[in-house]
Amino acid sequence: MAKVLITGGTGLIGVRLKKILIEKNHTVVILSRNPKNKDEFKWDPSLNHIDEKALKNTDYIIHLAGAGIAEKRWTKKRKQVIIDSRVNTANLLFKKVNELNIDLKGFISASGVGYYGAITSEVIFKETAKSGTDFLADVCQQWEEAAHQFSEKNIPVTILRTGIVLASKGGALDKMKTPIITPLGSGKQYIPWIHIDDLCHMYVKTIEHNLTGIFNAVSPEHHTSRTFSKALSKNLKRPYLGIGVPQIALKILFGKLAIVLLEGSRISPKKIKKIGYSFQFKTLKSALSNL
């Protein structure tokens, strides 16, 4: 079994992933700014500090750390925080792995479907598609470039471009559970989504089956804001209002961040399915029923 170090291990995905890895008899340690448990070790990227004991005998690093994309308005300062929290942390890990001569079997990094750009189109994006040209695309490009530097040391690199993660507590789904369920804007934009367990099992598969390369981590069933809202309304037994929240209202409320809510395209998961990943939650109905 492998020793796995997780950054961002106290976040929504990290907590669930840690539990699943331990259930599969892997050893897990967490890098945290405020370690509280025996399996948590101190790091402070602003000071280029990592407790070296965390890296000892590590087989895989799963890099989930990163400031929330949709937590705050995108001021110039916030944009830099979003980038630095992903890129500088990966750079620090690379530096320490080199300094300590850690014989990693793989570096596995999160990324986002924002790589393809915050747009609504009829294109179903595959991993080979070109990146977008907006802020989110730039974030993902820099994020992935930071991960790819590990390949310079012949360390296999795997990247999961992730959609909106659905979980029972926390994350986007909590914010969608309003008293009246309604689509956003035109309602025609797509919402690439994935159940948290499917995402975590993808990370496990990259370790247990030595997967390398870039994979889209999204469910195979496509939904627009409108069809997603209808499914959620039915699941929660709450009223559905077909008139979408006006774009202007969202732009006033969230500023440039509103583009995340108003645009979205379909993303193809065929590549990861082809190499043998079988989704537990292929449909939104099954995912919502479970959560």
Q: How far apart are CA 112 and CA 164, in angstroms?
A: 9
DSSP state of 269: -
Q: Cα 80 to chain center, whole Å?
A: 18
Which domains, from first to last, does the chain contain? Answer: 3-290 (3.40.50.720)
Residue 17: what pLDDT?
97
- The secondary structure of residue 240, as a DSSP letter, is B
Residues 291/166, Cβ–Cβ less than 8 Å: yes
pLDDT at 70: 87
Residue 140: which H helix or E strand, with range? helix 135-148
pLDDT tens for each residue of the chain, 291 residues long? 899 999 999 899 999 999 999 999 999 999 999 998 999 999 999 899 999 999 999 999 999 999 999 889 999 999 999 999 999 999 999 999 999 999 999 999 999 999 999 999 999 999 999 999 999 999 999 999 999 999 999 999 999 999 999 999 888 888 899 999 999 999 999 999 999 999 999 999 999 998 999 999 999 999 999 999 999 999 999 999 988 888 898 888 888 888 888 999 999 999 999 999 999 999 999 999 999
DSSP code for 123: -
Residue 215 to residues 115, 125, 286, Cα–Cα distance (Å): 12, 11, 23
Predicted local distance difference test score (pLDDT) of residue 55: 95
Alpha carbons 228 and 193: distance in angstroms, whole number:
10
Question: How many C-beta neighbours within 10 Å does residue 252 have?
Answer: 10
Euclidean distance between the first and the last CA atom of the chain, given in angstroms as a whole number: 30
- Which residues partner with 110 through β-bridges? 160
Per-residue confidence (pLDDT) for residue 285, from 0 to 100: 97
